[in-house]
Amino acid sequence: MLVKRLPIFQLFMDRQDGQNALIDAVREINASHVREIVRGGAYINVYSQHGNTCLHMATKRGYAEIVEILIKNGADRSLLNSQNRTPEQMLNTSYRTTQTDSRKLENYEKIEKIYKKSKNKKYRIRVPDVFPSSSFHIFADKNTDDELTNRFMGQFSAIASTELLPTTTHYIVHTDSNGILEIDSFELVVWILSGVIIVRDTWMMDCLKDKRLIEKDSAYLVERVRYKGMVYDTVIQWSNAMAKGTMPYLYGVYVAVVIQNYGNLIPLVTLVTTHGGIILELFPEKSQFNIGSHPYLHAHLGPLFIIHDGQTNLESYKNDTDKMYTLFTEEEFVHFMLKRMINVDKSENPISVLVDGED
């Protein structure tokens, strides 16, 4: 039996070897593969870690055939990238005087004609196949009941695992009577925000009574979590954002850690890089970054995030007159991520964070 397809399944359907297949195909200039992927229903408006949709990428690089495939399969021509440009605006009209490669010149001319021809046309987005329960990869958290979990794992051994894997689709957790998950580790935060489907442990109990309920995972989704006394209802927002490949939440963020022997460094690196941020090996010096720049989705913050434990004197950075630094303890950073508050930089020409070019 096939489940009714949820938007949050898109993440798993669009991945190959842990990467978004459509983005990789565009980068590889593989038009036939792009066509195959979009016809299979891949989410076509996915953003790369560099803040561009596939249509932005293909237009900028002069991939005429790919541009046409994307547009005719419903790519949104109105979406803005991290420079607040539409895909068509990535076509620099000065190419006629600056481009010396005749093949590239021809491709840019083709792209310009494609945009003009499709200007007032609408194209249908392909709908993917349903996601079969046979493709589920289910993991149960350590805080679930051992006896219940063992019975479930035995009953559904073909799609359940005692190991967390890159292919995990469902993460089963124990919640309170109100369905709220209590976060007790940084690693759990990483998984909650990863796009994996977080489900209540009552799903296991009900599936053991009626195995057909394995198809009804959507009825058991965790919607709220509690962290350090604060309750957040952003779990589904995060799942949908990851499934659709929206603008990375930490695009334009550069992170430095100033904690000696920091035990959560590996999961922090995973969290930051998954969401488009950059981990710095050395403490950031302002001379390497543009004054007045901001992370694209956090226009009120400085782009240089400092994770600290309060043991280092950072007053000069906290009081930086250029407001380039944003200081967090680990706890404050987790709250920041769970809130999922977005303040888009709407300036006409957002300033690149790095001095030497695009982020």
Average pLDDT along the chain, 359 residues, taken 10 residues at a time: 49 71 95 94 93 97 96 97 96 67 87 95 83 93 97 97 92 97 97 96 98 95 98 96 95 97 97 97 92 98 97 94 97 99 97 81
The three-state (H, E, C) secondary structure of the chain, written as one string:
CECCCCHHHHHHHCEECCEEHHHHHHHCCCHHHHHHHHHCCCCCCCECCCCCEHHHHHHHHCCHHHHHHHHHCCCCCCCCCCCCCCCHHHCCCCHHHHCCCHHHHHHHHHHHHHHHHCCCCCCCCCCCCCCEHHHCCEEECCCCCHHHHHHHHHHCCCCEECCCCCCCCEEEECCCCCCEEECCCHHHHHHHCCCCEEEECHHHHHHHHCHHHHHHHHHHECCEEEECCEEECCHHHHHHHHHHCCCCCCCCCEEEEECCCCCCHHHHHHHHHHCCCEECCCCCCHHHECCCCCCCCECCCCCEEEEECCCCCCHHHHCCCCCCEEEEEHHHHHHHHHHCCCECCCCCCCCCCECCCCC
pLDDT at residue number 41: 86
pLDDT at 8: 60
- CATH code of 248-339, in short, is 3.40.50.10190
pLDDT at 11: 63
What pLDDT does residue 81 have?
A: 98
pLDDT score, position 12: 65
* CATH of the structural domain 133-243, one choice from 3.40.190.170, 3.40.50.970, 3.40.50.920, 3.40.50.10190: 3.40.50.10190
pTM, to two decimals: 0.92
How high is the pLDDT of residue 356?
79
pLDDT of residue 132: 87
| Domain ranges (residues) in the chain | 7-117, 133-243, 248-339
CATH architecture of the domain with residue range 7-117: Alpha Horseshoe (1.25)
Answer yes or no: same fold for 7-117 and 248-339. Answer: no
- What is the model's pLDDT at position 5? 45
